[in-house]
Amino acid sequence: MSFWTRICIAACCLFLALPTFAQQPTWRDEDRAKWLERNATVEKKLMVPMRDGVGLSTDLYLPKDHEGPLPTIFWRTPYNYNEMKGARLRFAHEAVSQGYAFVIQNERGRFFSGGEWEILGFPRTDGYDALTWIADQEWSNGKVGTIGCSSSAEWQMALAAMDHPAHASAVPMAPGAGLGKVGEFVEQGNWYRGGAEQMFYLTWLYWVQNTQRPRLPKGLDREDVVRLSKYFDLAPEMPEVEWKKKIWTLPLSKAMEEVSGPKGMFADFLSRGPEDPAWYESEGLWHEKDDFGVPALWMFSWYDISTGPNVAMVEHIRKNASDPLVREHQYMVMAPLLHCAFYRADYPLELGERTIENAEYAYEEQVFEWFDFTLKGEDNGFEKTPKNAYFTFGSDQWNTSDSWPPAGAGKKALYLSSSDGANSLFGDGKLSDKPAKTANVDRFTYDPLVPAPSVGGGVCCIGGTIDGGPFDQRSVEARADVLVYTSEPLKEDLEATGPVEVVLYVSSDAPDTDFTAKLIDVQPDGTAYNLDETIFRARYREGYDKQVMMEAGQVYELRMSSMLTSNVFKKGHRIRIDISSSNFPRFSRNMNTGGPNYNESEPKVAKNAVHLSEEHPSRIVLTVVEP
């Protein structure tokens, strides 16, 4: 791309080691705001014109008395920034203090921006036009780095597919909803996992999808808009909802109506299958068929909603981007955090029910070293940075590698078996190195009206119905509709870093049902901490473009969407896998009828089974790193 053709990447003699947590002054939001008043030239509510004439509300922060053109850090968001605070204020402050222009912009149809909003914010047109506007300003050196977390990250992927000449680098933090299809994952913007809907969209769209909104009169002078913004920020105050009750609404298609939420997008998405052509018509989604034209520093978290698909995307870009320098300059950080917690975590880290040692990482320092390298052209040694920095639970250490999974990693299969039944923590389900010689079938009943509850896990934005992170799973494992398979205590440490495959041989008396899996580290005292979870809707076992129902009495192989972890199962610990047919409200409930689910309110109780034998070797496959 043009950035890389204009500069020569010098051979680096300085090795940049894994950053450690740097002690810095404690800045409060009011301190940062006052600092910017003294040290920055700020222009608010610039209406940056798009190609169709719509103006997008944009604030500009420039270092006072700067000399010469500046590189730009660009944050684009659907959220309200009329009052700058939190991470956005933090980055405006740091950008200006380190000699960057900082630009923040609301997506089309949000707050003071004109036009009509669409999820992901038209990155291929509006995002492209915004970069052109920045590059054309007299204060700009023509190089822009995009940054942001969650929704402010997700538009960056589709924008990177456009390979804008000014788009010099990206820092997408905790993206997910911008990813459509990559490898085994057909998520379509985090809407699905394994063909089952992820329920956080109900609560998130309730707060965000405000297509009906107050608007300022057309033709107002910018000075009037700035003045009015000081006492009208156009941010709606949505009524509080008792989501722990409302999330149970059936049919699911009535849930948004039940809470008097905004109509449209939620119902539309529910009616689509995973391979509906409408997903591929979205301007905002990035699919593996798209190119990727931008060097990137990716920041992910182990307990987030799209960890596995995000890593698959980075690996796809590393192998398939058309520009070899883009392929070579994809860096990844995997943090021991919840969604977008990079700049609000306290240490020692309290994560779910666990205290995590040695979790500190200099995220901000690495971001600005990255921008110095890609936007300023500094020979600061960043190119020597390991391609992957990831936190490993159990050993509670940061590790690095230049390949993913780490070089030398192998596969270790653990097979499910039982004698009298694996139902609940009190059954005799086992994980062992070889398939069961004596065939057995573990049966359980799945009632959609009494689903297995979600406890912890990789969650976000779900209205307080679930707390994310690692939690003791024994309260769920006490249920008869949860099959529990546990290894013997380990005789030595075992590190699993990379994908975790789940292959089940299943049957059901229902035409369609779901199967869930959860990977767990069992402590010597019996505490069972979840590492990752997944789900698969049986009708999609022959492909997401097909819907093939089950027949009673038939056994089917299910290859579930992979989980992902980096965990040292310590000597004396045990490895566990929980199997069920629900994990609610993390995922939607299958009504077991073979119908569309989303518009059904009369479920069928399913008699489900997992088959265990040499003929039907139900198993998990860990990616194992030798010491």
| 199 pLDDT higher than 90 | yes
| 2 pLDDT higher than 90 | no
| 23 pLDDT higher than 50 | no
The CATH number for 2-188+274-401, chosen from 3.40.640.10, 3.40.50.1820, 3.50.50.60, 3.40.50.150, is: 3.40.50.1820
Q: Is residue 310 a contact partner of residue 175, using CB atoms and an 8 Å limit?
A: yes
pLDDT score at 218: 82
Residue 499 to residue 509: CA distance in whole angstroms: 31
pLDDT tier for residue 25 given thresholds of 50, 70 and 90: low
List, as one string, the DSSP characters of 255-311.
HHHHTT---SHHHHHHT--TT-HHHHH-SS-B-TTS---S-EEEEEESSSTTHHHHH
Contact residues for 253 (Cβ-Cβ < 8 A; gap 6+): 267, 270, 598, 599
| C-alpha triplet 168, 174, 175: angle, nearest 5° | 70
| 19 pLDDT higher than 80 | no
List, as one string, the DSSP characters of 426-464.
TS--EEESS--SS-EEEEEEE-TTSPPBP-SBS--SSTT
| 16 pLDDT higher than 60 | no
Residue 61 to residue 54: CA distance in whole angstroms: 22
pLDDT digits over 93-110, tens only? Answer: 999 999 999 999 999 999
Residue 381 to residue 19: CA distance in whole angstroms: 13
What class does CATH assign to 410-625?
A: mainly beta
Query: Backbone dihedral region of 542: left (phi > 0), alpha (psi from -120 to 50 degrees) or beta?
Result: alpha
Diameter over CA atoms, the chain: 80
pLDDT digits over 268-325, tens only? Answer: 999 999 999 999 999 999 999 999 999 999 999 999 999 999 999 999 999 999 999 9
Strand partners, 285: none
Q: Is residue 590 a contact partner of residue 581, using CB atoms and an 8 Å limit?
A: yes
Residue 109 to residue 157: CA distance in whole angstroms: 20
Q: Which amino acid is at 607?
A: K
Q: Is residue 540 a contact partner of residue 274, using CB atoms and an 8 Å limit?
A: yes
Provide the mean pLDDT of the chain: 94
pLDDT score at 183: 96
Q: Which whole number is the average pLDDT over 369-389?
A: 97
Residue 181 to residue 275: CA distance in whole angstroms: 9
Residue 340 to residue 458: CA distance in whole angstroms: 12
pLDDT digits over 254-264, tens only? Answer: 999 999 998 88
Q: Which whole number is the average pLDDT over 491-496?
A: 98
Provide the residue ranges of all domains of the chain, joining segments of one domain with +: 2-188+274-401, 410-625
| 4 pLDDT higher than 70 | no
| 504 pLDDT higher than 70 | yes
Q: Which whole number is the average pLDDT over 237-265?
A: 94
- Per-position b or e across 600-617, b if 16+ CB within 10 A of its CB: beebbebebbbbbbeebb
If 0-12 CB within 10 Å is exposed, 13-18 middle and 19+ buried, where does residue 99 land? middle
Residue 18 to residue 212: CA distance in whole angstroms: 47
Q: Is residue 288 a contact partner of residue 166, using CB atoms and an 8 Å limit?
A: no
In the chain, what are the helix, strand and coil shares in percent, each to the nearest 5?
Answer: 20, 30, 50
Residue 316 to residue 318: CA distance in whole angstroms: 5
| 508 pLDDT higher than 70 | yes
| 573 pLDDT higher than 90 | yes
pLDDT digits over 347-361, tens only? Answer: 999 999 999 999 999
pLDDT tier for residue 338 given thresholds of 50, 70 and 90: very high
pTM above 0.85, yes or no: yes
| 22 pLDDT higher than 50 | no
At residue 575, the 3 state secondary structure works out as strand
List, as one string, the DSSP characters of 78-100.
SS--SS--HHHHHHHHHHHHTT-
Q: Is residue 414 a contact partner of residue 431, using CB atoms and an 8 Å limit?
A: yes
| 20 pLDDT higher than 60 | no
pLDDT score at 263: 82
pLDDT score at 3: 37
pLDDT digits over 540-558, tens only? Answer: 999 999 999 999 999 999 9
pLDDT digits over 107-158, tens only? Answer: 999 999 999 999 999 999 999 999 999 999 999 999 999 999 999 999 999 9
pLDDT tier for residue 82 given thresholds of 50, 70 and 90: very high
Contact residues for 238 (Cβ-Cβ < 8 A; gap 6+): 206, 207
pLDDT digits over 205-235, tens only? Answer: 999 887 677 788 888 899 999 999 998 888 8
- Per-position b or e across 494-503, b if 16+ CB within 10 A of its CB: bbbbbbbbbb
